[in-house]
């Protein structure tokens, strides 16, 4: 793996891998404020820090292909500090705010010492409620997004993911980078940003997820004080994403690199409790770590240092990617070997033993992902925003345990049919 | 630090410094200042010399076991370049006297374990994280891979090819390549200049016998530490550790002799072409070592200049409408015999020359910096930012955050037991809180006020 990930990207990866747990206690509570804003509280005394995540439903899915990047741009502007006085306050408090646009929601994350939560929200909530969308500020964030978009494309793994999204979700907001591209950002005007803000940043469209050592009552009091003024509005109705297969079976992207990225991508069904459990199991079984199916490409066939599988799960679909990075001279061997692993799994399915091991791996990974406050708050909010409900955190282990070998093998046959595969190859152009 | 497995998010990176907050208080008079009331800790040394630290952390049902070996790229030379890294791969993936690599992989998967290793300049790490119910497996597995390795030429030859793939992957990674070059130039003439992955020619020609000799010498209890953090009863875990590890034998290797790292002679300014669209710049200087009392001031200064909220270096390079860089991240790596501060910048390639000049000029002038309102005269104090206080708060936040991660804690404790010399004076956070504005100017003068900067740029390939 290359290690150059921003917080946002790490978050996306983490959420894509999340699975639930009935083996873990669910201490979280849910409240709904009068303006419709959902608050999920998790008391966690493992440190004196507080994580507050503000999820705004919509995310990339709310972008139109012509104006990709709008969700990220609007969300990012909410954490741009408008004057030096407010900046000074936040600097002194050492409170950090970051923004991100995931597939189905935008996200503002606030991290602070618990003792500084209230003074931090006093500053940040004012910006959140009355952001400044001036031309200078919008242009500055657009430049930042263009830059980040290029950095994203300088990494073959991230570029491969984008290629998969573009191929399977071409006509929807899912089918591109959260940063948009030069043309789409040029098409976004200030009035688009204002309109997006007004329609999406309303109580009934927002989930606050908080993990803190502070008592629940104190948290509710603080949240009520600073977020009750958000207008209630109505939840945004988003267009359905029509199923589509990739128009091409193979995408070759030329990069003059030492290694070639070789990947196979498949479309996954939209999120549900069962589909989430199935995709997480499948991802682990196929390519997560030692003993997974792809591991033999590394340990026995010596094709790669990095072999991996990634399941991205979204409300209206998903993407499964199996990939490796190999020496350019091994390109064809890697393509053939990767295909054979997938074909074998498709034709012969998995076994009781392999399934049991994958269940263990997925459940333990989930415990690790939820160990930190940021991880736990993110999982709870993701489940709530995805329509599964935050309570899914407490029931996913039983959802996983209930899956039978037949169900998993049916799922594998449904997903991995050869005619549904997209091959992505990134590296030096092959010699003719 | 090179990670062997597939999850880069759990690597010990620059953040390793933050969790020393715990280690310092833990190994001195243990004061669980911000751990919950349930946690308890104990450190001891087994009769065979293995240093052990146990910490109860009951927030999630996991047990994390981290072993550190006092062996790193510092212990190599031109003829042995990369051997530690190869050895680390073999230990993790190629089998023991009783189990093959495939069997270990199967067992790891069966228990739902996270299993990984890293090679650094000073230390090799081996860690495993399992459900609490599998703690016996975790302890036994780590003992077996660390002290009962079996190296065959066939298995070694297979692993070599994977390592050469890892090397090629690094060559496609802009910041990875730049960091590698920074160390080669910043520590020229010192063991820290040795590349972590090693020399491909040495690796290709490596024999199992040669690797085994290295293994036999260093993988002995007195040269290792073991930290266990997680959901267990302290007394029961102590009994298990003593039972599992008590019978391992081995003599300590002769103590290594390393001089402190010397500063490079003059500026190094290198550009490397890659197929990238943006420029990736790393600017580096030497910094205090792991045991230096200056480490606290350097931590704070790094936060002020390049890590915290609105870092000063970023502001200096992006004044008003002028925008030279897009992102900055500064890291302080402290090693046993030296240290390095690295600033990682991404930018438009056309701004590269100006950014290098202005960044270095700014860092050199940091010794004249005003970091608190009290540094300013008269009425100006009312409008001045308190960067020192902000950085101290940031470090406190990061320290608390590191408390939440069991594996991270285990690795930091294992590292601490190997690298720490002498008794700490107070906890890490107490030392951070003692840092004054004048301390920042002193370390800025000593480490940033020099002319021997190393700058490595990764730039788009010329058409």
Q: What is the Cα gyration radius of chain B?
A: 23
Q: How many CB pairs under 8 A join A and B?
A: 218
When CB atoms are compared, the residue of B115, B166, B385 closest to A290 is B115
- Domains of chain B: which residue ranges? 2-245, 268-460
pLDDT single digits (tens) A361-392: 999 999 999 999 999 999 999 999 999 999 99
Give me the interface pTM, i.e. the ipTM: 0.89
List chain B residues with CB under 8 Å of A113: 393, 396-397, 400
Q: What domains are defined for chain A?
A: 7-227 (3.30.830.10), 250-427 (3.30.830.10)
A147: left (phi over 0), alpha (psi -120 to 50) or beta: alpha
What was the pLDDT predicted at B320?
Answer: 76
* pLDDT single digits (tens) B79-96: 999 999 999 999 999 999
Answer whether residue A105 shows pLDDT above 70. yes
> Has residue B163 got a pLDDT over 90?
yes
Of all helices (H) and strands (E), which one includes residue A42?
Answer: strand A38-43
Query: What local confidence, expressed as pLDDT, does residue A25 receive?
Result: 62
Q: Of all helices (H) and strands (E), which one includes residue A43?
A: strand A38-43
Which pLDDT score is estimated for A432? 58
B2-245 and B268-460 in the same fold: yes
Per-residue model confidence as pLDDT tens digits over B330-379: 999 999 999 999 999 999 999 999 999 999 999 999 999 999 999 999 88
Q: d(Cα A388, Cα A376) in Å, to the nearest integer?
A: 15
Q: Can you give the pLDDT at residue B1?
A: 54
pLDDT at position B264:
84
Q: Report the C-alpha gap between A421 and A343 in whole angstroms.
A: 11
Q: Does the beta-carbon distance from A289 to B165 stay under 8 Å?
A: no
Which residue of B168, B370, B392 is the best one to mutate when testing the A interface, meaning the one whose CB has the most A CBs within 10 A? B168
Instruction: Summarize the confidence of residues A336-345 as an average pLDDT.
Output: 96
Tokens of B39: 């946690």
Say if residue A33's pLDDT is above 60: yes
The predicted-structure confidence for A118-135, as pLDDT tens digits, reads as follows 999 999 998 899 998 999
Q: Which of A93-107, B58-72, B254-268 has the lowest mean pLDDT?
A: B254-268
What is the pTM (predicted TM-score) of this model? Answer: 0.90
Rounded to the nearest angstrom, the gap between the alpha carbon of residue A117 and the centroid of all alpha carbons in its chain is 26
- Note whether A4 and B346 are within 8 A (CB): no
Q: Is the pLDDT of residue B325 over 90?
A: yes
Kindly report, residue by residue over A237-247, the tens digit of the pLDDT: 888 888 777 88
Q: Provide the pLDDT for residue A7.
A: 26
Tell me the residue length of chain A.
Answer: 432
Task: State pLDDT tens for residues B12-42.
Answer: 333 334 333 343 333 333 333 334 445 699 9
Q: Minimal Cα–Cα distance from A326 to chain B, Å?
A: 7
Option in A46, A140, A156 nearest B404 (CB) = A46
Q: Which pLDDT belongs to residue A247?
A: 83
**Mean pLDDT, to the nearest integer, of A156-166?**
96
Q: What's residue B213's pLDDT?
A: 94
Name which of A42-46, A207-211, A400-404, B39-43 the model is least confident about. B39-43
* Nearest residue to A276 via CA among A376, A395, A158, A164: A395
Residue bearing tokens 């009355």: A130
How many angstroms separate the CA of residue A307 from the nearest CA in chain B? 8
Q: Which residues of A touch B110 (CB under 8 A)?
A: 356-357, 360
Which homologous superfamily is B268-460 in? Metalloenzyme, LuxS/M16 peptidase-like (3.30.830.10)
Averaged pLDDT score across all residues of chain B:
89
Would the pLDDT of A141 be above 60? yes
A112 CB neighbour count, 10 Å cutoff:
25
Question: Which sign does the torsion angle of CA B290, B296, B302, B303 carry?
Answer: positive
Q: In Å, what is the CA distance from B364 to each residue of B101, B285, B359?
A: 51, 11, 9
Asked whether residue B256 carries a pLDDT value surpassing 90, the answer given is no
To the nearest whole Å, the CA of A270 is away from the closest chain B CA by 26
Contact A144, A180 (CB under 8 A): no
Q: If you average pLDDT over residues A24-43, what whole number do you get?
A: 88
Assign A24 a pLDDT band (cuts: 50, 70, 90).
low
Work out the average pLDDT over B145-150: 96
* pLDDT for res B39: 62
pLDDT of residue B358: 96
pLDDT of residue A349: 96
Closest C-alpha among A127, A249, A208, A135 to residue A381: A208
User: How confident is the model over B192-218, as a mean pLDDT?
Assistant: 95
**Average of pLDDT values for B194-217?**
95
With 80 as the cut, is the pLDDT of residue A3 above it?
Answer: no
Which CATH superfamily does the domain covering B2-245 fall into? Metalloenzyme, LuxS/M16 peptidase-like (3.30.830.10)
Q: Which among A3, A111, A367 has CB closest to B397?
A: A111
Both structure tokens of A314: 């979204």
């Amino acid at each position: 793996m290359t290690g150059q990930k921003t917080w946002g990207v790490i978050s996306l990866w983490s959420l894509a891998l999340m699975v639930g747990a009935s083996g873990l206690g669910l201490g979280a509570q849910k409240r709904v404020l009068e303006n419709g804003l959902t608050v999920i509280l998790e008391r966690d005394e493992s440190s004196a820090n507080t994580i507050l995540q503000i999820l705004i439903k919509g995310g990339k899915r709310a972008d139109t292909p012509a104006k990709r990047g709008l969700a990220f741009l609007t969300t990012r502007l909410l954490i741009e500090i408008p004057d030096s006085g407010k900046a000074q306050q936040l600097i002194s408090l050492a409170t950090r705010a970051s923004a991100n646009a995931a597939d189905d929601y935008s996200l503002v994350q606030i991290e602070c010492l618990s003792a500084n939560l209230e003074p931090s929200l006093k500053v940040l909530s004012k910006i959140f409620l009355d952001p400044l969308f001036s031309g200078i500020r919008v242009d500055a964030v657009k430049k930042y997004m263009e830059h980040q978009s290029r950095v994203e494309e300088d990494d073959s793994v991230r570029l491969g993911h984008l290629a998969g999204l573009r191929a399977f979700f071409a006509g929807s907001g899912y089918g591109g980078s959260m940063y948009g591209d030069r043309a789409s950002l040029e098409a976004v005007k200030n009035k688009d940003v204002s309109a997006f803000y007004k329609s999406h940043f309303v109580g009934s469209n927002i989930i606050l997820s908080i993990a803190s050592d502070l008592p629940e009552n104190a948290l509710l009091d603080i949240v009520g004080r600073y977020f009750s003024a958000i207008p209630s509005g109505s939840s945004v109705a988003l267009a359905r994403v029509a199923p589509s297969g990739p128009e091409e079976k193979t995408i070759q992207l030329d990069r003059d690199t030492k290694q070639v990225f070789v990947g196979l991508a498949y479309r996954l069904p939209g999120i549900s409790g069962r589909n989430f459990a199935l995709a997480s199991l499948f991802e682990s079984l196929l390519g997560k770590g030692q003993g997974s199916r792809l591991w033999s490409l590394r340990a026995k066939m010596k094709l790669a240092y990095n072999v991996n599988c990634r399941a991205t799960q979204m409300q209206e679909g998903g993407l499964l990617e199996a990939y490796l990075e190999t020496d350019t001279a091994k390109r064809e061997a890697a393509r053939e070997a990767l295909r054979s692993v997938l074909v074998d799994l498709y034709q012969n399915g998995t076994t009781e033993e392999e399934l049991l091991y994958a269940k263990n791996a997925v459940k333990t990974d989930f415990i690790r992902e939820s160990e930190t406050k940021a991880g736990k708050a993110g999982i709870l909010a993701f489940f709530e925003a995805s329509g599964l409900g935050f309570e899914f955190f407490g029931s996913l282990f039983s959802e996983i345990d209930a899956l039978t070998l037949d169900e998993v093998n049916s799922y594998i046959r449904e997903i991995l049919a050869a005619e549904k595969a997209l091959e992505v190859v990134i590296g030096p152009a092959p010699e003719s | 630090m090179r990670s062997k497995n597939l999850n880069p998010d759990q690597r010990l990176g620059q953040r390793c410094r933050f969790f020393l907050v715990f280690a310092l208080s833990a190994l001195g008079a243990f004061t669980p200042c911000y751990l919950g009331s349930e946690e308890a800790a104990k450190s001891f040394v087994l009769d065979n010399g293995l240093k052990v630290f146990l910490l109860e952390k009951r927030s999630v049902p996991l047990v994390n076991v981290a072993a550190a070996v006092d062996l790193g790229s510092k212990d190599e030379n031109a003829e042995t370049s990369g051997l530690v890294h190869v050895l680390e791969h073999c230990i993790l993936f190629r089998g023991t006297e009783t189990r093959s690599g495939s069997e270990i992989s199967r067992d790891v998967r069966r228990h739902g374990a996270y299993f990984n290793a890293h090679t650094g300049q000073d230390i090799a790490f081996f860690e495993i994280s399992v459900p609490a119910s599998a703690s016996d497996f975790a302890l036994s597995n780590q003992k077996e891979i660390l002290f009962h390795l079996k190296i065959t030429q066939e298995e070694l030859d297979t692993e070599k090819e994977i390592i050469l793939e890892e090397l090629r992957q690094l060559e496609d990674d802009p910041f990875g390549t730049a960091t590698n070059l920074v160390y080669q130039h910043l520590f020229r003439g010192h063991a820290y200049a040795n590349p972590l992955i090693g020399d491909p020619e040495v690796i290709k020609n490596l024999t199992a016998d040669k690797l085994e000799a290295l293994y036999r010498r260093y993988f002995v209890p007195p040269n290792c530490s073991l930290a266990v953090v997680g959901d267990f009863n302290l007394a029961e875990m102590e009994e298990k550790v003593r039972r599992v590890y008590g019978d391992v034998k081995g003599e300590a290797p002769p103590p290594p002799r390393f001089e402190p790292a010397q500063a490079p002679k003059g500026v190094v300014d290198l550009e490397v072409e890659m197929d990238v669209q943006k420029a990736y710049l790393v600017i580096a200087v030497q910094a205090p070592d792991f045991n230096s009392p200056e480490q606290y001031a350097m931590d704070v200064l790094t936060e002020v200049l390049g890590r915290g909220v609105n870092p000063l270096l970023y502001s200096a390079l992006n004044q008003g409408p002028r925008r030279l860089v897009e992102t900055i991240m500064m890291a302080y790596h402290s090693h046993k015999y030296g240290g390095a501060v690295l600033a990682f910048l991404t930018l438009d390639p056309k701004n590269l020359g100006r950014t290098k000049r202005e960044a270095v000029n700014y860092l050199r002038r940091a010794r004249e910096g005003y970091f608190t309102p009290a540094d300013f005269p008269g009425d100006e104090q009312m409008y001045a930012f308190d960067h020192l206080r902000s950085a101290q708060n940031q470090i406190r936040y990061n320290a608390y955050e590191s408390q939440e991660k069991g594996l991270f804690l285990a690795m930091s404790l294992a590292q601490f037991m190997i690298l720490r010399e002498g008794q700490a004076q107070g906890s890490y956070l107490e030392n951070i809180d003692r840092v004054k504005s004048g301390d920042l100017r002193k370390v800025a003068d000593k480490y940033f006020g020099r002319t021997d900067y190393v700058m490595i740029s990764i730039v788009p390939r010329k058409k």
